[in-house]
Structure 1
Amino acid sequence: MNQPPGGDAATVDELSEATRRPVGAGESVGANRGWWDRNADEYQNEHGSFLGDDRFVWGPEGLDEASAGLLGPAASLAGRSVLEIGAGAAQCSRWLAAQGARPVALDLSHRQLQHALRIGVSFPLVEADACALPFASGSFDLACSAYGAVPFVADPVILLREVRRVLRPGGRFVFSVTHPVRWAFPDEPGPEGLSVSGSYFDRTPYVEQDSAGTAVYVEHHRTLGDRVRDVVAGGFRLVDLVEPEWPAWNSQEWAGWSPLRGNLIPGTAIFVCER
Protein backbone atom coordinates (compact mmCIF):
# COMPACT_ATOMS: atom_id res chain seq x y z
CA MET A 1 0.00 0.00 0.00
CA ASN A 2 1.41 3.36 -1.02
CA GLN A 3 -0.08 5.48 1.71
CA PRO A 4 0.52 9.23 1.21
CA PRO A 5 2.20 11.10 4.06
CA GLY A 6 -1.02 12.97 4.67
CA GLY A 7 -4.01 14.55 2.91
CA ASP A 8 -3.58 18.04 1.55
CA ALA A 9 -1.06 19.00 4.22
CA ALA A 10 1.58 16.31 4.10
CA THR A 11 4.57 16.42 6.38
CA VAL A 12 6.90 18.70 4.47
CA ASP A 13 10.53 17.81 4.04
CA GLU A 14 12.64 20.37 5.87
CA LEU A 15 14.21 21.47 2.58
CA SER A 16 10.90 21.97 0.76
CA GLU A 17 7.86 24.19 1.10
CA ALA A 18 4.16 23.35 0.78
CA THR A 19 1.93 25.22 -1.63
CA ARG A 20 -1.12 24.80 -3.87
CA ARG A 21 -0.58 25.32 -7.60
CA PRO A 22 -1.38 23.76 -10.98
CA VAL A 23 0.76 20.73 -11.84
CA GLY A 24 0.76 18.74 -15.08
CA ALA A 25 1.13 15.03 -15.64
CA GLY A 26 4.87 15.01 -16.32
CA GLU A 27 5.76 17.06 -13.26
CA SER A 28 3.51 14.88 -11.08
CA VAL A 29 5.15 11.67 -12.27
CA GLY A 30 8.68 12.98 -11.77
CA ALA A 31 7.96 14.45 -8.35
CA ASN A 32 6.21 11.39 -6.97
CA ARG A 33 8.66 8.85 -8.35
CA GLY A 34 11.45 10.81 -6.67
CA TRP A 35 9.54 11.25 -3.41
CA TRP A 36 8.74 7.57 -3.02
CA ASP A 37 12.27 6.52 -3.97
CA ARG A 38 13.72 8.86 -1.34
CA ASN A 39 11.20 8.02 1.37
CA ALA A 40 10.54 4.32 0.81
CA ASP A 41 12.90 3.21 3.59
CA GLU A 42 11.39 5.56 6.16
CA TYR A 43 7.86 4.69 5.07
CA GLN A 44 8.39 0.94 5.40
CA ASN A 45 10.16 1.37 8.74
CA GLU A 46 7.31 3.48 10.11
CA HIS A 47 4.32 1.60 8.72
CA GLY A 48 5.62 -1.87 7.98
CA SER A 49 4.39 -3.38 11.24
CA PHE A 50 0.86 -2.05 10.65
CA LEU A 51 0.76 -3.23 7.04
CA GLY A 52 2.41 -6.55 7.79
CA ASP A 53 4.31 -8.54 5.20
CA ASP A 54 1.26 -10.23 3.68
CA ARG A 55 -1.80 -8.34 4.85
CA PHE A 56 -4.19 -6.60 2.43
CA VAL A 57 -5.13 -3.33 4.18
CA TRP A 58 -7.35 -0.79 2.44
CA GLY A 59 -6.40 2.22 4.58
CA PRO A 60 -5.36 3.62 7.96
CA GLU A 61 -8.58 2.46 9.58
CA GLY A 62 -7.28 -1.08 9.20
CA LEU A 63 -10.07 -2.55 7.06
CA ASP A 64 -8.57 -5.61 5.40
CA GLU A 65 -9.63 -7.52 2.33
CA ALA A 66 -9.85 -10.77 4.28
CA SER A 67 -12.94 -9.46 6.06
CA ALA A 68 -14.23 -6.94 3.49
CA GLY A 69 -14.19 -9.20 0.41
CA LEU A 70 -14.38 -6.23 -1.96
CA LEU A 71 -12.60 -8.13 -4.73
CA GLY A 72 -14.87 -11.10 -4.05
CA PRO A 73 -14.86 -13.90 -1.47
CA ALA A 74 -11.34 -15.05 -0.66
CA ALA A 75 -12.19 -18.55 -1.83
CA SER A 76 -13.03 -17.17 -5.29
CA LEU A 77 -9.58 -15.62 -5.84
CA ALA A 78 -7.69 -18.85 -6.54
CA GLY A 79 -6.35 -18.94 -10.08
CA ARG A 80 -7.42 -15.38 -10.88
CA SER A 81 -4.95 -12.89 -12.35
CA VAL A 82 -4.81 -9.66 -10.33
CA LEU A 83 -2.97 -6.41 -11.03
CA GLU A 84 -2.00 -4.39 -7.95
CA ILE A 85 -1.34 -0.75 -8.88
CA GLY A 86 0.87 1.37 -6.64
CA ALA A 87 1.89 -1.77 -4.81
CA GLY A 88 4.66 -0.37 -2.63
CA ALA A 89 6.31 -3.38 -1.01
CA ALA A 90 3.56 -5.60 -2.47
CA GLN A 91 1.95 -6.60 0.83
CA CYS A 92 -1.47 -6.82 -0.83
CA SER A 93 -0.15 -8.96 -3.68
CA ARG A 94 1.52 -11.26 -1.16
CA TRP A 95 -1.86 -11.80 0.55
CA LEU A 96 -3.50 -12.42 -2.81
CA ALA A 97 -0.86 -15.00 -3.70
CA ALA A 98 -1.57 -16.78 -0.41
CA GLN A 99 -5.20 -17.14 -1.52
CA GLY A 100 -4.07 -18.83 -4.72
CA ALA A 101 -4.40 -15.78 -6.97
CA ARG A 102 -1.81 -14.87 -9.61
CA PRO A 103 -0.87 -11.25 -8.77
CA VAL A 104 1.36 -8.79 -10.58
CA ALA A 105 2.60 -5.90 -8.42
CA LEU A 106 3.23 -2.59 -10.20
CA ASP A 107 4.74 0.58 -8.76
CA LEU A 108 6.32 3.78 -10.06
CA SER A 109 9.02 3.66 -7.38
CA HIS A 110 12.08 1.45 -7.88
CA ARG A 111 12.95 1.66 -4.19
CA GLN A 112 9.50 0.53 -3.07
CA LEU A 113 9.81 -2.53 -5.27
CA GLN A 114 13.22 -3.23 -3.76
CA HIS A 115 11.44 -3.53 -0.41
CA ALA A 116 9.09 -6.03 -2.03
CA LEU A 117 12.13 -8.09 -3.03
CA ARG A 118 13.58 -7.73 0.48
CA ILE A 119 10.44 -9.21 2.03
CA GLY A 120 10.24 -11.85 -0.69
CA VAL A 121 7.95 -12.40 -3.68
CA SER A 122 6.72 -15.32 -5.75
CA PHE A 123 5.09 -13.16 -8.43
CA PRO A 124 6.16 -10.54 -11.00
CA LEU A 125 7.14 -7.00 -10.00
CA VAL A 126 6.79 -4.26 -12.61
CA GLU A 127 8.16 -0.72 -12.43
CA ALA A 128 5.87 1.45 -14.56
CA ASP A 129 3.54 4.43 -14.73
CA ALA A 130 -0.07 3.50 -13.94
CA CYS A 131 -1.24 5.76 -16.77
CA ALA A 132 0.70 3.69 -19.33
CA LEU A 133 0.30 0.07 -18.24
CA PRO A 134 2.74 -2.24 -20.06
CA PHE A 135 0.25 -5.08 -20.51
CA ALA A 136 -1.89 -6.38 -23.35
CA SER A 137 -5.61 -5.68 -23.34
CA GLY A 138 -7.63 -8.18 -21.36
CA SER A 139 -4.67 -9.47 -19.34
CA PHE A 140 -6.28 -9.51 -15.88
CA ASP A 141 -9.40 -10.69 -14.09
CA LEU A 142 -9.14 -8.14 -11.27
CA ALA A 143 -7.23 -4.98 -10.34
CA CYS A 144 -6.73 -3.21 -7.04
CA SER A 145 -5.00 -0.19 -5.57
CA ALA A 146 -4.81 0.61 -1.87
CA TYR A 147 -3.88 4.32 -1.73
CA GLY A 148 -1.65 3.74 -4.74
CA ALA A 149 -1.32 5.86 -7.88
CA VAL A 150 -4.87 7.28 -8.11
CA PRO A 151 -4.36 10.32 -5.82
CA PHE A 152 -1.02 11.11 -7.44
CA VAL A 153 -1.97 11.39 -11.13
CA ALA A 154 -3.04 14.61 -12.80
CA ASP A 155 -5.76 12.94 -14.90
CA PRO A 156 -7.29 9.91 -13.15
CA VAL A 157 -9.54 9.17 -16.13
CA ILE A 158 -6.45 8.19 -18.14
CA LEU A 159 -5.48 5.75 -15.38
CA LEU A 160 -9.01 4.34 -15.15
CA ARG A 161 -9.20 3.80 -18.90
CA GLU A 162 -5.86 2.01 -18.83
CA VAL A 163 -7.07 -0.26 -16.03
CA ARG A 164 -10.28 -0.96 -17.94
CA ARG A 165 -8.23 -1.82 -21.04
CA VAL A 166 -6.17 -4.48 -19.27
CA LEU A 167 -9.18 -6.02 -17.52
CA ARG A 168 -11.29 -8.74 -19.07
CA PRO A 169 -15.05 -8.11 -19.52
CA GLY A 170 -16.75 -8.27 -16.13
CA GLY A 171 -13.46 -7.54 -14.34
CA ARG A 172 -13.49 -5.60 -11.10
CA PHE A 173 -11.25 -2.70 -10.07
CA VAL A 174 -11.24 -1.65 -6.42
CA PHE A 175 -9.25 1.36 -5.26
CA SER A 176 -8.96 3.39 -2.07
CA VAL A 177 -8.00 7.04 -1.66
CA THR A 178 -7.99 9.68 1.03
CA HIS A 179 -11.64 10.57 1.58
CA PRO A 180 -12.23 13.83 -0.32
CA VAL A 181 -13.85 15.57 2.66
CA ARG A 182 -10.53 15.45 4.51
CA TRP A 183 -9.09 18.04 2.16
CA ALA A 184 -11.14 20.73 3.93
CA PHE A 185 -9.49 19.96 7.29
CA PRO A 186 -5.95 20.47 8.62
CA ASP A 187 -3.83 17.32 8.56
CA GLU A 188 -3.68 17.07 12.35
CA PRO A 189 -4.76 14.09 14.48
CA GLY A 190 -5.93 16.13 17.49
CA PRO A 191 -8.75 18.63 18.14
CA GLU A 192 -7.01 21.26 16.00
CA GLY A 193 -7.71 18.99 13.02
CA LEU A 194 -11.47 19.20 13.43
CA SER A 195 -12.03 22.75 12.14
CA VAL A 196 -12.47 23.43 8.44
CA SER A 197 -9.42 25.29 7.14
CA GLY A 198 -9.99 25.33 3.37
CA SER A 199 -12.54 24.86 0.65
CA TYR A 200 -13.57 21.32 -0.12
CA PHE A 201 -14.16 22.51 -3.69
CA ASP A 202 -10.60 23.78 -4.25
CA ARG A 203 -9.11 21.26 -6.69
CA THR A 204 -5.72 23.00 -6.85
CA PRO A 205 -3.08 20.29 -6.36
CA TYR A 206 -1.12 20.10 -3.11
CA VAL A 207 2.58 20.49 -3.93
CA GLU A 208 5.82 20.34 -2.01
CA GLN A 209 8.59 22.09 -3.91
CA ASP A 210 12.27 22.81 -3.48
CA SER A 211 13.93 26.22 -3.36
CA ALA A 212 13.98 26.36 -7.17
CA GLY A 213 10.22 25.82 -7.35
CA THR A 214 10.52 22.26 -8.64
CA ALA A 215 7.83 19.92 -7.33
CA VAL A 216 9.15 17.11 -5.13
CA TYR A 217 5.73 15.72 -4.07
CA VAL A 218 2.30 16.17 -5.64
CA GLU A 219 -1.16 15.05 -4.62
CA HIS A 220 -4.31 15.80 -6.61
CA HIS A 221 -7.62 16.53 -4.89
CA ARG A 222 -10.95 15.43 -6.36
CA THR A 223 -14.34 15.84 -4.73
CA LEU A 224 -16.48 12.76 -4.14
CA GLY A 225 -18.60 13.70 -7.15
CA ASP A 226 -15.46 14.11 -9.26
CA ARG A 227 -14.34 10.61 -8.34
CA VAL A 228 -17.70 9.12 -9.31
CA ARG A 229 -17.68 10.96 -12.63
CA ASP A 230 -14.09 9.82 -13.24
CA VAL A 231 -15.11 6.19 -12.71
CA VAL A 232 -17.93 6.53 -15.22
CA ALA A 233 -15.76 8.42 -17.74
CA GLY A 234 -13.18 5.66 -17.39
CA GLY A 235 -15.74 3.14 -18.63
CA PHE A 236 -16.59 1.51 -15.30
CA ARG A 237 -19.81 0.94 -13.41
CA LEU A 238 -19.62 1.94 -9.75
CA VAL A 239 -21.14 -0.87 -7.69
CA ASP A 240 -20.19 0.25 -4.19
CA LEU A 241 -18.60 3.12 -2.29
CA VAL A 242 -17.22 2.08 1.09
CA GLU A 243 -16.37 4.59 3.85
CA PRO A 244 -14.75 2.52 6.62
CA GLU A 245 -15.53 3.50 10.19
CA TRP A 246 -12.72 3.72 12.71
CA PRO A 247 -12.59 0.45 14.69
CA ALA A 248 -12.31 0.38 18.47
CA TRP A 249 -9.12 -1.72 18.35
CA ASN A 250 -7.14 0.81 16.31
CA SER A 251 -5.30 3.28 18.57
CA GLN A 252 -2.79 4.38 15.94
CA GLU A 253 -2.22 7.98 14.88
CA TRP A 254 -1.06 8.23 11.27
CA ALA A 255 -0.54 11.83 10.12
CA GLY A 256 -4.09 13.24 10.30
CA TRP A 257 -5.70 9.86 10.87
CA SER A 258 -6.49 9.12 14.50
CA PRO A 259 -9.21 7.60 16.71
CA LEU A 260 -10.48 11.11 17.52
CA ARG A 261 -10.90 12.18 13.91
CA GLY A 262 -11.79 8.72 12.65
CA ASN A 263 -14.82 8.53 14.90
CA LEU A 264 -16.11 11.87 13.59
CA ILE A 265 -15.22 12.22 9.91
CA PRO A 266 -14.38 9.66 7.21
CA GLY A 267 -10.73 9.16 6.33
CA THR A 268 -10.87 6.70 3.44
CA ALA A 269 -13.10 6.17 0.41
CA ILE A 270 -13.04 2.82 -1.40
CA PHE A 271 -14.51 2.62 -4.89
CA VAL A 272 -15.69 -0.77 -6.15
CA CYS A 273 -15.94 -0.67 -9.95
CA GLU A 274 -16.80 -3.21 -12.63
CA ARG A 275 -15.87 -3.23 -16.31
Structure 2
Amino acid sequence: MGIITVATTPQSDLHDLDDDGDDALRREAEAGESSRASRHWWDRNADEYQDEHGEFLGDDRFTWCPEGLDEADAKLLGDPAELAGRDVLELGAGAAQCSRWLAGRGARAVALDISFRQLQHSRRIDLSRGLAPVPVVQADAAVLPFADRSFDLVCSAYGAVPFSADTAALMREVHRVLRPGGRWVFSVTHPIRWAFPDEPGVEGLTATASYFDRTPYVEQDEQGRATYVEHHRTLGDRVRELVGAGFRLLDLVEPQWPEGHEQEWGGWSPLRGRLIPGTAIFVAERD
Protein backbone atom coordinates (compact mmCIF):
# COMPACT_ATOMS: atom_id res chain seq x y z
CA MET A 1 0.00 0.00 0.00
CA GLY A 2 1.41 3.40 -1.00
CA ILE A 3 0.94 6.80 0.59
CA ILE A 4 -2.58 8.05 -0.01
CA THR A 5 -2.49 11.81 -0.63
CA VAL A 6 -5.57 13.93 -0.07
CA ALA A 7 -4.94 17.45 -1.37
CA THR A 8 -6.83 19.80 0.92
CA THR A 9 -4.62 22.90 0.47
CA PRO A 10 -2.91 24.45 -2.57
CA GLN A 11 0.56 23.02 -3.11
CA SER A 12 1.96 25.09 -6.00
CA ASP A 13 4.35 27.18 -3.87
CA LEU A 14 5.31 24.63 -1.24
CA HIS A 15 8.78 23.78 -2.47
CA ASP A 16 10.15 27.08 -3.80
CA LEU A 17 10.54 28.89 -0.49
CA ASP A 18 13.98 29.82 0.78
CA ASP A 19 14.11 30.14 4.57
CA ASP A 20 17.56 31.77 4.74
CA GLY A 21 17.18 34.87 6.86
CA ASP A 22 13.57 34.20 7.81
CA ASP A 23 11.98 36.64 10.22
CA ALA A 24 10.20 35.41 13.36
CA LEU A 25 7.26 37.44 14.59
CA ARG A 26 3.77 37.28 16.02
CA ARG A 27 1.04 37.94 13.46
CA GLU A 28 -2.24 36.49 12.27
CA ALA A 29 -2.11 33.47 9.97
CA GLU A 30 -5.27 31.98 8.51
CA ALA A 31 -5.97 28.32 7.88
CA GLY A 32 -4.68 28.05 4.31
CA GLU A 33 -1.44 29.86 5.05
CA SER A 34 -0.84 27.80 8.19
CA SER A 35 -1.48 24.54 6.37
CA ARG A 36 0.80 25.40 3.46
CA ALA A 37 3.58 26.48 5.81
CA SER A 38 3.33 23.27 7.84
CA ARG A 39 3.39 21.04 4.79
CA HIS A 40 6.46 22.80 3.40
CA TRP A 41 8.34 23.06 6.72
CA TRP A 42 7.90 19.40 7.65
CA ASP A 43 8.75 18.20 4.14
CA ARG A 44 11.96 20.21 4.26
CA ASN A 45 12.91 19.33 7.84
CA ALA A 46 11.71 15.74 8.15
CA ASP A 47 15.16 14.24 7.50
CA GLU A 48 16.87 16.39 10.10
CA TYR A 49 14.05 15.82 12.60
CA GLN A 50 14.21 12.04 12.28
CA ASP A 51 18.01 12.09 12.43
CA GLU A 52 17.98 14.18 15.60
CA HIS A 53 15.07 12.61 17.45
CA GLY A 54 14.72 9.17 15.88
CA GLU A 55 16.69 7.39 18.60
CA PHE A 56 14.53 8.92 21.35
CA LEU A 57 11.29 8.22 19.47
CA GLY A 58 12.30 4.70 18.49
CA ASP A 59 10.81 2.87 15.53
CA ASP A 60 7.76 1.56 17.39
CA ARG A 61 7.60 3.47 20.65
CA PHE A 62 4.53 5.46 21.71
CA THR A 63 5.86 8.37 23.74
CA TRP A 64 3.63 11.33 24.42
CA CYS A 65 6.22 14.01 25.04
CA PRO A 66 9.86 15.06 25.53
CA GLU A 67 9.43 14.13 29.19
CA GLY A 68 9.37 10.53 27.96
CA LEU A 69 5.91 9.46 29.17
CA ASP A 70 5.11 6.24 27.31
CA GLU A 71 1.62 5.01 26.51
CA ALA A 72 2.66 1.54 27.71
CA ASP A 73 2.85 3.00 31.22
CA ALA A 74 0.31 5.84 31.07
CA LYS A 75 -2.50 3.83 29.42
CA LEU A 76 -4.29 7.01 28.36
CA LEU A 77 -5.88 5.18 25.44
CA GLY A 78 -7.00 2.38 27.72
CA ASP A 79 -5.60 -1.02 28.59
CA PRO A 80 -2.96 -1.97 25.96
CA ALA A 81 -4.19 -5.55 26.18
CA GLU A 82 -7.54 -4.37 24.79
CA LEU A 83 -6.19 -2.54 21.72
CA ALA A 84 -6.36 -5.60 19.47
CA GLY A 85 -8.98 -5.21 16.77
CA ARG A 86 -9.61 -1.53 17.47
CA ASP A 87 -9.53 1.08 14.70
CA VAL A 88 -7.11 3.86 15.65
CA LEU A 89 -6.22 7.08 13.81
CA GLU A 90 -3.01 8.95 14.62
CA LEU A 91 -2.92 12.64 13.61
CA GLY A 92 0.37 14.35 12.81
CA ALA A 93 1.99 10.93 12.87
CA GLY A 94 5.40 11.83 11.45
CA ALA A 95 7.16 8.51 10.77
CA ALA A 96 4.26 6.65 12.43
CA GLN A 97 6.22 5.45 15.45
CA CYS A 98 3.11 5.55 17.65
CA SER A 99 0.97 3.82 15.04
CA ARG A 100 3.59 1.11 14.71
CA TRP A 101 3.43 0.53 18.48
CA LEU A 102 -0.35 0.32 18.27
CA ALA A 103 -0.20 -2.12 15.34
CA GLY A 104 2.18 -4.27 17.37
CA ARG A 105 -0.62 -4.68 19.89
CA GLY A 106 -3.13 -5.74 17.28
CA ALA A 107 -4.79 -2.40 16.60
CA ARG A 108 -5.79 -1.41 13.07
CA ALA A 109 -3.80 1.82 13.06
CA VAL A 110 -3.82 4.50 10.35
CA ALA A 111 -1.17 7.24 10.40
CA LEU A 112 -2.05 10.65 8.95
CA ASP A 113 0.37 13.51 8.37
CA ILE A 114 0.42 16.64 6.25
CA SER A 115 4.04 15.97 5.22
CA PHE A 116 4.77 13.51 2.43
CA ARG A 117 8.42 13.34 3.48
CA GLN A 118 7.55 12.39 7.04
CA LEU A 119 5.42 9.54 5.77
CA GLN A 120 8.25 8.40 3.52
CA HIS A 121 10.25 7.90 6.72
CA SER A 122 7.45 5.62 7.92
CA ARG A 123 7.95 3.54 4.78
CA ARG A 124 11.72 3.53 5.36
CA ILE A 125 11.29 2.13 8.87
CA ASP A 126 8.83 -0.53 7.73
CA LEU A 127 11.17 -1.69 4.97
CA SER A 128 14.24 -1.71 7.20
CA ARG A 129 12.43 -3.88 9.78
CA GLY A 130 10.70 -6.14 7.27
CA LEU A 131 7.30 -5.21 8.69
CA ALA A 132 3.92 -5.00 7.04
CA PRO A 133 3.58 -1.30 6.24
CA VAL A 134 1.52 0.92 8.50
CA PRO A 135 -1.31 2.42 6.41
CA VAL A 136 -0.51 6.11 5.91
CA VAL A 137 -2.49 9.04 4.55
CA GLN A 138 -1.23 12.49 3.61
CA ALA A 139 -3.89 15.05 4.49
CA ASP A 140 -4.72 18.06 6.62
CA ALA A 141 -6.05 17.02 10.03
CA ALA A 142 -8.63 19.80 9.89
CA VAL A 143 -10.33 18.08 6.92
CA LEU A 144 -10.21 14.37 7.66
CA PRO A 145 -10.80 12.13 4.61
CA PHE A 146 -12.73 9.47 6.52
CA ALA A 147 -16.36 8.55 6.92
CA ASP A 148 -18.33 9.35 10.06
CA ARG A 149 -17.75 6.97 12.99
CA SER A 150 -14.76 5.21 11.40
CA PHE A 151 -12.52 4.91 14.47
CA ASP A 152 -12.59 3.73 18.05
CA LEU A 153 -9.65 5.92 19.11
CA VAL A 154 -7.90 9.03 17.78
CA CYS A 155 -4.54 10.16 19.15
CA SER A 156 -1.85 12.72 18.48
CA ALA A 157 1.51 13.16 20.18
CA TYR A 158 2.53 16.74 19.46
CA GLY A 159 1.10 16.47 15.96
CA ALA A 160 -1.37 18.57 14.00
CA VAL A 161 -3.09 20.44 16.84
CA PRO A 162 -0.47 23.18 17.46
CA PHE A 163 -0.19 23.87 13.72
CA SER A 164 -3.91 24.20 12.97
CA ALA A 165 -5.43 27.69 12.74
CA ASP A 166 -8.92 26.45 13.61
CA THR A 167 -8.59 23.80 16.29
CA ALA A 168 -12.26 24.09 17.21
CA ALA A 169 -13.01 22.77 13.71
CA LEU A 170 -10.32 20.11 14.11
CA MET A 171 -12.00 18.91 17.32
CA ARG A 172 -15.33 18.68 15.49
CA GLU A 173 -13.68 16.62 12.75
CA VAL A 174 -12.23 14.22 15.30
CA HIS A 175 -15.65 13.94 16.95
CA ARG A 176 -17.19 13.17 13.56
CA VAL A 177 -14.87 10.27 12.73
CA LEU A 178 -15.02 8.74 16.23
CA ARG A 179 -17.60 6.16 17.22
CA PRO A 180 -19.76 6.83 20.29
CA GLY A 181 -17.71 6.26 23.42
CA GLY A 182 -14.48 6.70 21.44
CA ARG A 183 -11.51 8.39 23.05
CA TRP A 184 -9.52 11.39 21.75
CA VAL A 185 -6.12 11.89 23.38
CA PHE A 186 -3.59 14.52 22.29
CA SER A 187 -0.47 16.14 23.68
CA VAL A 188 0.73 19.69 23.04
CA THR A 189 3.23 22.11 24.46
CA HIS A 190 1.83 23.20 27.81
CA PRO A 191 0.12 26.56 27.18
CA ILE A 192 2.02 28.27 30.03
CA ARG A 193 5.22 27.82 27.99
CA TRP A 194 4.01 30.50 25.57
CA ALA A 195 4.73 33.12 28.22
CA PHE A 196 8.40 32.08 28.37
CA PRO A 197 11.23 32.12 25.81
CA ASP A 198 11.70 28.75 24.13
CA GLU A 199 15.15 28.25 25.64
CA PRO A 200 16.39 25.30 27.74
CA GLY A 201 18.60 27.39 30.05
CA VAL A 202 17.97 30.02 32.71
CA GLU A 203 16.87 32.51 30.04
CA GLY A 204 13.82 30.30 29.56
CA LEU A 205 12.65 30.77 33.16
CA THR A 206 11.51 34.40 32.96
CA ALA A 207 8.10 35.20 31.51
CA THR A 208 8.42 37.73 28.68
CA ALA A 209 5.02 37.51 26.97
CA SER A 210 1.36 37.33 27.92
CA TYR A 211 -0.11 33.88 28.41
CA PHE A 212 -3.35 35.35 27.04
CA ASP A 213 -1.86 36.57 23.75
CA ARG A 214 -3.17 34.14 21.16
CA THR A 215 -1.41 35.75 18.21
CA PRO A 216 0.32 32.96 16.23
CA TYR A 217 4.08 32.57 16.10
CA VAL A 218 5.16 32.90 12.47
CA GLU A 219 8.43 32.55 10.61
CA GLN A 220 8.29 34.16 7.17
CA ASP A 221 10.55 34.69 4.19
CA GLU A 222 11.57 37.98 2.55
CA GLN A 223 8.31 38.06 0.58
CA GLY A 224 6.27 37.81 3.78
CA ARG A 225 5.17 34.23 3.08
CA ALA A 226 4.87 32.08 6.18
CA THR A 227 7.34 29.19 6.31
CA TYR A 228 6.38 28.00 9.81
CA VAL A 229 3.28 28.73 11.90
CA GLU A 230 2.33 27.62 15.40
CA HIS A 231 -0.87 28.57 17.18
CA HIS A 232 -1.48 29.15 20.89
CA ARG A 233 -4.56 28.38 22.95
CA THR A 234 -4.97 28.65 26.71
CA LEU A 235 -6.01 25.68 28.84
CA GLY A 236 -9.49 27.17 29.03
CA ASP A 237 -9.63 27.49 25.25
CA ARG A 238 -8.80 23.81 24.84
CA VAL A 239 -11.48 22.74 27.31
CA ARG A 240 -14.09 24.89 25.59
CA GLU A 241 -13.11 23.52 22.17
CA LEU A 242 -13.48 19.95 23.38
CA VAL A 243 -16.79 20.51 25.15
CA GLY A 244 -18.10 22.56 22.21
CA ALA A 245 -17.31 19.69 19.84
CA GLY A 246 -19.25 17.23 21.99
CA PHE A 247 -16.47 15.68 24.07
CA ARG A 248 -16.31 14.99 27.78
CA LEU A 249 -12.94 15.81 29.33
CA LEU A 250 -11.72 12.83 31.34
CA ASP A 251 -8.26 13.98 32.36
CA LEU A 252 -5.60 16.64 31.87
CA VAL A 253 -2.14 15.14 32.36
CA GLU A 254 0.87 17.38 33.07
CA PRO A 255 3.88 15.03 33.08
CA GLN A 256 6.62 15.81 35.58
CA TRP A 257 10.21 15.73 34.46
CA PRO A 258 11.50 12.30 35.52
CA GLU A 259 14.61 11.79 37.60
CA GLY A 260 17.59 10.65 35.58
CA HIS A 261 16.25 12.09 32.31
CA GLU A 262 18.96 14.51 31.18
CA GLN A 263 18.19 14.79 27.46
CA GLU A 264 17.30 18.24 26.12
CA TRP A 265 14.82 18.67 23.28
CA GLY A 266 14.59 22.24 22.01
CA GLY A 267 13.22 24.27 24.90
CA TRP A 268 12.67 21.15 27.03
CA SER A 269 15.39 20.52 29.58
CA PRO A 270 15.86 19.10 33.09
CA LEU A 271 16.26 22.66 34.42
CA ARG A 272 12.95 23.95 33.07
CA GLY A 273 11.10 20.65 33.35
CA ARG A 274 11.57 20.46 37.09
CA LEU A 275 10.12 23.95 37.58
CA ILE A 276 7.35 24.50 35.03
CA PRO A 277 5.26 22.02 33.01
CA GLY A 278 6.29 21.46 29.41
CA THR A 279 3.47 19.24 28.16
CA ALA A 280 -0.30 19.06 28.49
CA ILE A 281 -2.12 15.86 27.51
CA PHE A 282 -5.89 16.05 27.06
CA VAL A 283 -7.94 12.88 27.45
CA ALA A 284 -11.49 13.18 26.17
CA GLU A 285 -14.36 10.88 25.28
CA ARG A 286 -17.05 11.21 22.63
CA ASP A 287 -20.60 10.98 23.95
Q: TM-score range by the shorter chain?
A: over 0.9
Counterpart of 2:45 in structure 1 is 39
Deviation string 1:210-264 (CA, Å, 9 cap, x unpaired) is 0111000000000111111111112111100000000112111111100000000
Aligned match of 1:68 in 74, 89, 92? 74
- Distance in 1, Cα, partners of 2:133 & 2:227: 33
1:181-260 to structure 2, matched below 5 A, reads 181-260=192-271
Structure 1, unaligned stretches of length 5 or more?
1-12
1:1-275 to structure 2, matched below 5 A, reads 14-120=20-126, 121-275=132-286
- Distance in 1, Cα, partners of 2:26 & 2:213: 10
- The one-letter code sitting in structure 2 at the alignment partner of 1:255 is G
Please provide the CA RMSD for this pair: 0.8
Deviation string 1:115-150 (CA, Å, 9 cap, x unpaired) is 000001533100011111111111111010000000
Structure 2, unaligned stretches of length 5 or more?
1-18, 127-131
- Superposition TM-score, scaled by structure 2 size: 0.90
Deviation string 1:95-132 (CA, Å, 9 cap, x unpaired) is 00111111000000000000000001533100011111
Deviation string 1:53-73 (CA, Å, 9 cap, x unpaired) is 000010100001000000001
Runs of 4+ in structure 1 off by over 3 angstroms are: none
- Distance in 1, Cα, partners of 2:276 & 2:174: 30
- The one-letter code sitting in structure 2 at the alignment partner of 1:74 is P
- The one-letter code sitting in structure 1 at the alignment partner of 2:228 is Y
SS of equivalent residue, structure 1 residue 271: strand
- Distance in 2, Cα, partners of 1:167 & 1:249: 38
SS of equivalent residue, structure 1 residue 126: strand
The number of residues matched between the two structures is 263
Report the CA distance between 1:14 and its aligned residue: 4.2
SS of equivalent residue, structure 2 residue 44: helix
SS of equivalent residue, structure 1 residue 255: coil
